[in-house]
Chains A and B, each alone.
Chain A
Amino acid sequence: MTSYIIRRLLLIIPTVFVALSFLFFLFFLLPGDPASLIAGGANRAIDQGVLDRINARYGLNDPIPVQFVHYWQRTIQWDLGESFLNRRSVNEILGERSINSIRLGIWAILIEIIVGIAVGLLAAIRRYSIADKLTTIITAGASAVPVFVLGFVLQYLFAVQPNKLGWPEWTKLRTSGLGPDTWTFFFIPTGEQWRYLILPAITLASVSTALLARMTRGSMLEVLRADYMRTARSKGLGERDVVIRHGLRNAMLPVVTLIGIDFGTVIGVAVLTETTFSWPGLGSEIVQAVGQRDLPVLLGLTLAVVLAYALINLVVDLSYAWFDPRIRLGEGENS
C-alpha cells in the first residue's frame, strides 16, 4: 500500500513536468512580444530603452533553453515569479484566487453529490416510472446545454425577471462578482454572500450532477439485480437497509470515480462559469492570462491546478480499496 502510494506520487512528477514544459514552449510560439506587453500594450510605440530594460529584468533575451532552466529552478522552490502585467507575485494571486475557486467548487460538488446520488437512486428504485423517464430526459438535457447558456438563462430567470416584475427583494439573486466576501467556517456564506454564490454554484454543478445521476442510476440498476440483494431481503432486512447499506455502497465504486474526475472538471469547466458570472477564481484568471500572454500567471496557476488534480486522482484510487475491499492496490496492475 505504502509503496503503491509512493510510486504514484513519483509518477506525478514527470507528468507535471512534461505538461508544464509543453505550455512553456507553446508560449514562445505565440505571436506578440512579451516585453512590449509588459511595457503597456502592443499597440503603443515604446521606447527601445524601456524594452531592453524589461527584457533584461525578466531575462527574456536569454536563449529559450536558458529561460527554461531558470523557470524550473525557480518553480521547484515554489517561487512562481511575478505577473508580466502588474508585477504582482503569482504566489499571492494564486492564494487569493484559489480560495474563491475552492469555495465555489465545494458548493458545486456538494450539490452534485446530494442531488446527483438522490436523483439517480430514486430513478433506479422506481424504474420505468414517470419520474425515472423525466430523469433520463432532464439529465440528457443538462449535459447538452452549454454552461454559459445555462448561466445566462439562470441570470435571466432569477435576476432580470424579479427586477422587471418587481418581486420582493429576497428573490433577487446577484449575477456578477464575488460579493461582500463574508464567510463562516471558511465555506459557508453569510449575509448577502449567498446571493452571489448560489447561481454560479448551480451552474457549475449542472453538468456533473446530470452525469452523476445517470451513473448512479445505471450502477444501482445493476446492483439491484445482484444475488446478495436477494440474500439481504431474505434475511428480513427492511427495504431501506437493503437499498442503502447493501445496494448503495456497492453501487458507489463507479460513482466515486466520477466524483473524483469531477473535482478536476469543476476546475476546468469553472473557466466558463467564472467568466459568465465574473467570479474571481483560478479558471477565469488562467484564461485571461493566456489572452494577455502573461506566462508566469498562466504557468503558476496551471501548475497548482495540475498538482491538485493529480493528488485528487490518487485519493480517488485509494478510496476504491475502502469501498470495495476486494480491490488490492498495486498488485498485478498493468497500466
Chain B
Amino acid sequence: MTLTEPAAPGAIEGSSDFTGGLDIAAARPLRVDVWRRFKRNRLAMVGLVLVVLLVLVAIFAPWIAPYGITERSSDFRQGPSSDHWFGTDGIGRDVFSRVVNGARVSVRIGFLATAMSLILGLVLGCLGGYFGGITDTLVMRLTDVFLAIPYTVLAVAIATVVGRSINSVILIIGLTGWLGIARIVRASFLSLKRLEYVEAAHALGFSRSRIIMRHILPNALQPIIVYGTIAVGSVILTEAALSFLGVGVQEPTPAWGLMVAQGKGNLVNAPHLMFFPGAAIFLTVLAFVFIGDGLRDALDPKLK
C-alpha cells in the first residue's frame, strides 16, 4: 500500500505516535506509522496473509493444480479423496484444480474492476467536488439515477447486453461500481477545498490541476484507500452473484460463483460441489474486509 506523503500542512492529523513521549516531533514517514498500527491488528494480518496466498495461488495456478480445468475423469460427483482433494463435479472434472484456477478469475476481475471504478469515481468526484456548480449537479444527478435502480437489476440488465466474457464482467462491475466512490471523493473535496492551505496554494498561483493532484487529493485519499480495499471484496461477491444468476462468466471458465450455481441441484448427494468454491469466495472476501477494517483503524487512530 503506497500512501502519498501529505503535501501540505493541515494534513492527516494524529499521524505521529504519541506513545513515544519525547520523540513526538521526530518526523517519521506516515506510512511507517500506519504499517506499525496495522501490524498490531491480528485480524488485518490474517487478511493480508490470505490475500498474499490468494495472489500466489492465482499466479502459480497451472503448477499447483494437478489436473486441467476441462480434464475429465470417469468419476462423477465423487466426494473428496486422495486423488481428488475436493472431489469431482457433475462431468468428472477435478474440483480442486478448478477452484485453484478460479483464483485467477476472481483476482483479475476483483482488481481490474475495482481499479476501473476507482478511476471513474475519482475523476467524477473530483470534478463535482472541486468545480461545483453545473458539473457538480450533473455528477450528483447521475449517481442519483443509477443508485435509484437496485444494483443487482442494473448489473444484470447491463450484463445481458454486454455479454459474458471475463472482460465484459470487469466492464459491467467497473461501470456500475463508481457511484459510492464518487460521492466519498466529492464530499472530501467539498470540505477540503475551503481549507486555508488550499487558499494559500491558490494565492501562490498554482494551477488548478496542481492544486487538485498535489494538495487536495492526497488528503482525500484515506477513505478512498479503505473503500477501495473493501471494494475488491465486494466486486468478487458481485462477480459470484452474476455468475450464479447466469449472466456472468461462462463455462468452462472456472468462476467460483458459477461452480456454486452448478452444485445447487446436488445439495443432498454432493454438497462438496457447493462447499469448496463457496468457501473460497467467503475466505477471499473476508480477507479484504479484514484488511479494509485494519487500514481504517491504522489510518485514523482517533476512530478506534
A-facing mask of B150-192, CB < 8 A → 1, else 0? Answer: 1111001110110000000000000000000000000000000
**Cβ of A178 < 8 Å from any Cβ of B?**
no
B275 shortest CB reach to chain A, Å: 8
A320 shortest CB reach to chain B, Å: 17
**Cβ of B210 < 8 Å from any Cβ of A?**
no
Partner of B281, one of A136, A146, A302, A309: A146
Given known A-B contacts A146-B240, A148-B241, A141 and B150 have beta carbons under 8 A apart:
no
State which of B11-19, B70-78, B266-274 sits at the interface with chain A.
Answer: B266-274
CA distance A291 to B268 in the complex (A): 28
A214 shortest CB reach to chain B, Å: 9
Q: What A residues does B286 contact at CB under 8 A?
A: 140-141, 144
Whether A310 and B148, one on each chain, are in contact in the complex, defined by CB atoms closer than 8 angstroms, is: yes
B244 shortest CB reach to chain A, Å: 5
Whether B145 and A22, one on each chain, are in contact in the complex, defined by CB atoms closer than 8 angstroms, is: yes
Partner of B148, one of A16, A275, A291: A16
**Cβ of A305 < 8 Å from any Cβ of B?**
yes
Whether B161 and A291, one on each chain, are in contact in the complex, defined by CB atoms closer than 8 angstroms, is: no
B48 shortest CB reach to chain A, Å: 14
Partner of A287, one of B153, B158, B240, B293: B153
Whether B244 and A291, one on each chain, are in contact in the complex, defined by CB atoms closer than 8 angstroms, is: no
**Cβ of B246 < 8 Å from any Cβ of A?**
yes
A-facing residues in B242-289 (Cβ within 8 Å): 244-247, 257, 260-261, 263-264, 267-268, 271, 274, 278, 281-282, 285-286, 289
Given known A-B contacts A140-B289, A290-B157, A291-B160, A146 and B148 have beta carbons under 8 A apart:
no
A277 shortest CB reach to chain B, Å: 11
State which of A52-60, A106-114, A118-126, A153-161 sits at the interface with chain B.
Answer: A153-161
**Cβ of A147 < 8 Å from any Cβ of B?**
yes
Given known A-B contacts A30-B161, A144-B282, A149 and B274 have beta carbons under 8 A apart:
yes
A330 shortest CB reach to chain B, Å: 17
Whether B289 and A143, one on each chain, are in contact in the complex, defined by CB atoms closer than 8 angstroms, is: yes
Q: What B residues does A18 contact at CB under 8 A?
A: 141, 145
Q: What B residues does A302 contact at CB under 8 A?
A: 149-150, 153
**CB nearest neighbor in B for A175:** B267
Interface size on B, residues (CB 8 A): 42
Whether A286 and B260, one on each chain, are in contact in the complex, defined by CB atoms closer than 8 angstroms, is: no
CA distance A164 to B245 in the complex (A): 29
Whether A160 and B152, one on each chain, are in contact in the complex, defined by CB atoms closer than 8 angstroms, is: no
**Cβ of B60 < 8 Å from any Cβ of A?**
no
CA distance A30 to B290 in the complex (A): 39
Whether A271 and B152, one on each chain, are in contact in the complex, defined by CB atoms closer than 8 angstroms, is: yes
Q: What A residues does B244 contact at CB under 8 A?
A: 146, 148, 272, 275
B-facing residues in A245-268 (Cβ within 8 Å): 264-265, 267-268
Whether A268 and B152, one on each chain, are in contact in the complex, defined by CB atoms closer than 8 angstroms, is: yes
Given contacts A148-B260, A152-B264, A275-B245, 7 further A-B contacts (CB under 8 A): A16-B148, A144-B233, A146-B278, A149-B274, A160-B271, A268-B152, A287-B156
**In the complex, the 8 A-B pairs of residues with the closest C-beta atoms, listed nearest first:** A268-B150, A149-B278, A144-B286, A144-B285, A271-B152, A18-B145, A19-B148, A19-B145
- 11 A–B contacts, CB within 8 A, in A order: A136-B43, A137-B43, A140-B289, A146-B241, A148-B241, A160-B268, A160-B271, A265-B151, A306-B148, A309-B148, A310-B148
